[in-house]
Amino acid sequence: MSIPFDQQDGFIWYDGQLVPWADAKLHVLSHGLHYASGVFEGERAYGGVIFKSAEHSARLHRSAELLDFKIPYSVAEIDAAKRLVLERNGLTEAYVRPVAWRGSEKMGVSARDNTIHLAIAAWVWPSYFDAAERLKGLRLDLAEFRRPDPRTAPSTAKAAGLYMICTISKHRAERRGYAEAMMLDWQGRVSECTGANIFFVRGSELHTPIADCFLDGITRQTVIALAKRRGYDVRERRITPEELAGFSECFITGSAAEVTPVSEIADWRFTPGAITRQLMDDYAAEVRPTRKAAAAA
């Protein structure tokens, strides 16, 4: 049985200083807990180096601005804090989680003057999915909840409140024997999974939904660039569920998921193939400078 996260050992960076893991606490009447005024990032370190660390820190700032607060640390300061967390915890292969939230000075919908807190933790997280399951392709359910109209929520932020329906959808999928769930948008078009973006393959073309009502993932952007470097035609467009029968391959992307093949989504079937495997290899080389150099040689 794994150790609960509040009982693990190590150090967490909290409001400017490293504190023992068990001492990284917030009050039960924190605004972020009651009103979801919190934003976060999910990042991976490979060989002691956080992949695209500055891009993640910049997105954390943008997410906070969309929730109407300002993080009191610069991108450079956040990057330095993340490196310190890895160093003090003796981690080289790790998942890194910065999180910022409104504090406890006022309890109510309006809390403009509440203190903004920032914490950074890191831990070992080898793979988001079981290794054997990942290689043969994940089975995805079709979620009941949909991504909201961007006029109803700050959908381009990595905000805690936007993940409520993701948790509900993933729990339902797991109870039904699936590893994940694909979500539609408010108009019934394909959007993303509960914690990852999604791609489909037809011939040498990659098709992926336009990221205008969900997070445009940094891994998503990286994979698009890698695919174009390989000469694949990448099409960001509206995709309807009825089109899924016409795709041969499917995979999902994310900092936690990396590049993971999909074998089925509800009644649709896919076969993990050459393009998915190529992009898995290219991404693995991209995140590790030594492997990237070897691949280019």
Residue 86 burial by CB count (10 A; 0-12/13-18/19+): exposed, middle or buried?
buried
Identify the band that residue 130 occupies on the pLDDT scale cut at 50, 70 and 90: low
The answer to whether 5 and 21 are in contact (CB under 8 A) is no
Is the pLDDT score of 293 beyond 50? no
Return the pLDDT at 297: 44
The answer to whether 265 and 238 are in contact (CB under 8 A) is no
Fold exhibited by the domain 131-295: D-amino Acid Aminotransferase; Chain A, domain 2 (3.20.10)
**Domain map (residue ranges) of the chain:** 5-123, 131-295
- Average of per-residue pLDDT across 214-223: 97
pTM for the complete prediction?
A: 0.93
> How far from chain centre, in Å, is Cα 256?
6
d(CA 180, CA 172) in angstroms, rounded, equals 9
Give the mean pLDDT of the chain. Answer: 94
Q: What is the CATH number of domain 5-123?
A: 3.30.470.10
Question: How many other β-carbons are positioned within 10 Å of the β-carbon of residue 60?
Answer: 24
Token pair for residue 255?
């900092």
Is the pLDDT score of 286 beyond 70? yes
Return the pLDDT at 41: 98
Residue with tokens 């893991």: 21
Return the pLDDT at 134: 72
Is the pLDDT score of 138 beyond 50? yes
Identify the band that residue 294 occupies on the pLDDT scale cut at 50, 70 and 90: very low
The answer to whether 173 and 252 are in contact (CB under 8 A) is no
The answer to whether 119 and 72 are in contact (CB under 8 A) is no
Which helix (H) or strand (E) covers residue 40, if one does?
strand 38-40
The answer to whether 206 and 235 are in contact (CB under 8 A) is yes
- Average of per-residue pLDDT across 262-271: 97
d(CA 78, CA 109) in angstroms, rounded, equals 28
Active site residues: 158
Percent share of the chain, pLDDT over 90: 91
What is the tens place of the pLDDT at every residue in 171-210? 999 999 999 999 999 999 999 999 999 999 999 999 999 9
